[in-house]
Amino acid sequence: MVGGLLGLSTTGKHRPVENPPLVLVGCSGGPDSLALAAVAAFFATRGEVRVGAVVVDHQMLPGSAGVAARTAEQLRGLGLDPVQVRTVDVEHDGGGPEAAARAARFAALDAAARELGAETVLLGHTMDDQAESVLLGLARGSGTRSLAGMRERRGLYARPFLKLRRAETLAVCQALELQPWHDPANSDEAYLRVRVRHNVLPFLAAELGPGVTESLARTAGILGHDADFLDGLAGQEFARIAQLGPDAGDGPAEVTLPEDELRGLPPALRTRVLARAVVVLGGCQPSQERLGAAETLLERRGSAGPVQLAGKVSAWRTSRSVAVPHEGRGYGKLVFRRTA
């Protein structure tokens, strides 16, 4: 599980290496990430990897600094080194507190991995988290990528526990006499995810059978392969038709997409190309609703917009100059720009 994602042998045969690569565990102190840290610490004893940890203090609850310090102490007791506590300021940008906390957390993990030279960051999400993500995607009317849930491996990040149930991570903590922190937000039904966890999934299990969590997670795995394939095709089309520039120092400030080319794409690729334009400009993955609003610009005549997309990116439809011959609605382009 953990060893496989790190490219280590799981047959019991291993060799210590002279300069083992560093792996970090993103640890909140909860049962899932604390159990993951303990399992990763075992692999560190084999000499093939070094294992450290990053504890992110979001400062969103009273006493959060104390929770972070106690978590770091337990991690050092497990033999993890280095162990960092990173304090972040959560900035709300209209996406809700959970999304803002997630963005701040990943920014802190990215920075720690860069500074420490880590090759991988392990996250403690379980099969239960995956099932909840699929249900939330269904409730929002999201597309394939959202329904695919979380990937087992994506870039720097790996999630070795996606095939484990939450109860199993609690059992690991109990067996090792660890003291996990239980986030009170996980019991606050003001959050949609908490209602899904405590009300919706138990109801579905009672009505459909106890394997519903496994079925939802399996669906995510199937859709993940489909989404990866479509994203790859969309990336090729984006590279073919997109015009980037000018450079703003941290990437392009504008992306232009010719509408004739966009109209020629299958809908599944067209929305992905539009989304890629937003992400290239530093924005977040737009919702299906926002992508649909951008796509309707193709139905307009003359200049239209703006449509506000995720992460302070807006889209317009602009006409060609009147000096350029055109016929019907087959002219113009969509322009994506950073708005701040």
29 marked ligand binding residue: yes
33 marked ligand binding residue: yes
Q: How confident is the model at residue 249 (pLDDT cuts 50, 70, 90)?
A: confident
**Residue 71, both tokens:** 């978590």
pLDDT (tens digit per residue) in 58-92: 998 899 999 999 999 999 999 999 999 999 988 76
Q: Give the DSSP per-residue string, 145-172.
A: HHHT---SEETTEE-TTTTS-HHHHHHH
CB-based contact 262:300 (threshold 8 Å): no
CB-based contact 268:232 (threshold 8 Å): no
Half-sphere exposure of 143 (CA within 13 A, CB side): 21
pLDDT (tens digit per residue) in 192-212: 999 999 999 999 999 999 899
95 marked ligand binding residue: no
64 marked ligand binding residue: no
**Residue 274, both tokens:** 């539009």
Angle (CA) 99-104-109 rounded to 5° is 125
Note the pLDDT of residue 90: 83
Q: How confident is the model at residue 8 (pLDDT cuts 50, 70, 90)?
A: low
184 marked ligand binding residue: no
**Topology at the third CATH level for domain 2-218:** Rossmann fold (3.40.50)
Residues 6+ apart with CB under 8 A from 126: 32, 161, 162, 164, 165, 166, 168, 169
The least confident of 102-111, 278-287, 321-330 is 321-330
Domain boundaries, the chain: 2-218, 242-338
pTM for the whole structure: 0.84
224 marked ligand binding residue: no
Handedness of CA 199, 200, 202, 207 (dihedral sign): positive
